[in-house]
Amino acid sequence: MQRTLPVLLLALVPTLASAQATDAARALAQDAVIVDTHIDAPGMLMDGWMDLGEEAKGREFDYPKARAGGLDVAFMSIYTSPKQDDNGTAWQVANEMIDAVEALAARHPDKFALLRSPGDVDALRKGDRVLLPLGMENGAPIGDDLANLQFFFDRGVRYITLAHSAANRIADSSYAIERKWHGLSPFGKQVVAEMNRLGIMVDVSHISDESAREAIALSTVPVIASHSAFRHFTPDFERNISDELAKAVAAKGGVVQVPFGTAFVDPKGAADTQAHFRAINDFNQRNAELKAAGKPLESEEAFDKAWAAAHPAPVTKIDAVLDQVDYGVKLVGIDHVGIGSDFDGVGGELPQGLLTTADYPNLVAGLQARGYQDEDIRKILGGNLLRAWAAIEAGAADPKAP
């Protein structure tokens, strides 16, 4: 998720890793395969090149932080906005982001490697490399051409979040007031089938309940929610996954990946986020009316500044994320919960103790303190996602495979 709210100065908020993580937690984090399905570093690279192979001040993901936290597989979010969809730039922006990730790996072949198959994880991560598969957040770059799915698969995209904060050609968004399709569009149904054929994971985060329900039902292989908290804690926030849909994801063999952002795991943060998108909708409508009348438009910068000042992020503890994991495990089972942090995508609005990719040991310590066995923690950290991904890949190779 990309937000327009100002980024907090992370330098002013010291990491709590050394204060909370135990030696046992740090050891497990380094030994386990940690897979985070949502990191928005490519968006940062588009704002201005940063060498993420070195310490990058103010960023939540870079190589030193990732390895300090034990991160092995970092899905790079190829995010495009509804505005870029509307103005026809989404395809170009997505390609530029992929170019940036490829450049990062090429500049540091000893630190990063592109990842295209779960079967390559063990070989490629040797030498402490961090692996960079791609997840496309918003199917807008596909346009209305199914052939673009093959194009982006060939470029390394291994999951696609069908829509983001507005309806597109594929599906409805959970944030939008109006629902264009009430499920998937006719083209969206073709997209799901083609993703299954290619081995691209269908991601139901961000989309409406109707769209998610239909995508899960139509898919012949597991689906994922790459970064969705549980709506149980935020009843009026459709962006978080409902119990019904979480169970459907699990029944299909998929995984719900829990994000860390306070906008998802904190009830007040979720309420403010929902209100923010409603306010953006009203703002855009006002500007459309002003433009039609030939009058000056309201300032988007001033709107964002006023909103941020009136809605400071709530202070949230790491327990909010641990509670999400607990609830998910009880709801759908230990084999169907993982992590999709949304680092570098939530404007620094993160729980205490989970401020950067160096802090996964704090999550491990919290899980151990709550009685989780190391074998189950390994599943949550990445084993579950790799299993689902392998099943999706196998389904593409053999459509009759379960």
215 confidence band (pLDDT: 50, 70, 90): very high
Report pLDDT digits (tens) over 34-86: 999 999 999 888 888 899 999 999 999 999 999 999 999 999 999 999 999 99
Give the 3-state DSSP-derived string for 349-394, with helices as H, strands as E and coil as C. Answer: CCCECCCCHHHHHHHHHHHHHCCCCHHHHHHHHHHHHHHHHHHHHH
| Mean pLDDT value of segment 186-209 | 98
* Beta carbons within 10 angstroms of residue 134's beta carbon: 25
pLDDT of residue 136: 98
DSSP string, 296-360: PPPPHHHHHHHHHHHSPPPP-BTHHHHHHHHHHHHHH-GGGEEE---BTSSTT---BT-SSGGGH
Is residue 18's pLDDT more than 50?
A: no
Better pLDDT: 212 or 278: 212
Give the model's pLDDT for residue 390. Answer: 98
Residue pair 39/61 in contact (Cβ under 8 Å)? The answer is: yes
Cα separation, 296 vs 86, whole angstroms: 21
pLDDT at 10: 37
Beta bridge partners of 114: 132
The structure tokens listed for 277 are: 């998108």
* 78 or 303, greater pLDDT: 78
Residue 144 has pLDDT above 90, yes or no: yes
Beta bridge partners of 343: 39
- Confidence (pLDDT) at 62: 98
Question: What pTM, to 2 d.p., does this model score?
Answer: 0.92
Residue 16 predicted with pLDDT over 90: no
How far, in Å, CA of 381 to CA of 383, rounded? 6
Q: What is the Cβ-side half-sphere exposure of residue 92, based on CA atoms within 13 angstroms? A: 5
Q: Which residue has the higher pLDDT, 271 or 378?
A: 378
Tens digits of residue pLDDT in 239-290: 999 999 999 999 999 999 999 999 999 999 888 888 887 888 888 889 888 8
pLDDT of residue 284: 83
Provide the pLDDT for residue 92.
98
Round the average pLDDT of the chain to a whole number and report it. 92
CA atoms within 13 A on the CB side of 343: 27
In this model, does residue 122 exceed pLDDT 70? yes
Task: Please determine, for residue 312, whether its predicted confidence score (pLDDT) is greater than 60.
Answer: yes
3-state secondary structure of 255: strand
Q: Nearest Cα to 163, choosing from 148, 178, 141?
A: 141
pLDDT at res. 47: 81
Q: Which among 389, 364, 363 is positioned nearest to 375, based on CA atoms?
A: 364
What backbone phi and psi angles, to 5 degrees, belong to 171?
-155, 170
Domain 10-267+316-397: CATH superfamily, name plus number = Metal-dependent hydrolases (3.20.20.140)
**Number of Cβ atoms within 10 Å of the Cβ of 386:** 18
pLDDT in tens, 259-269: 999 999 999 98
Strands (E), 63-162: 71-79, 112-114, 130-132, 134-137, 157-161
pLDDT at res. 15: 44
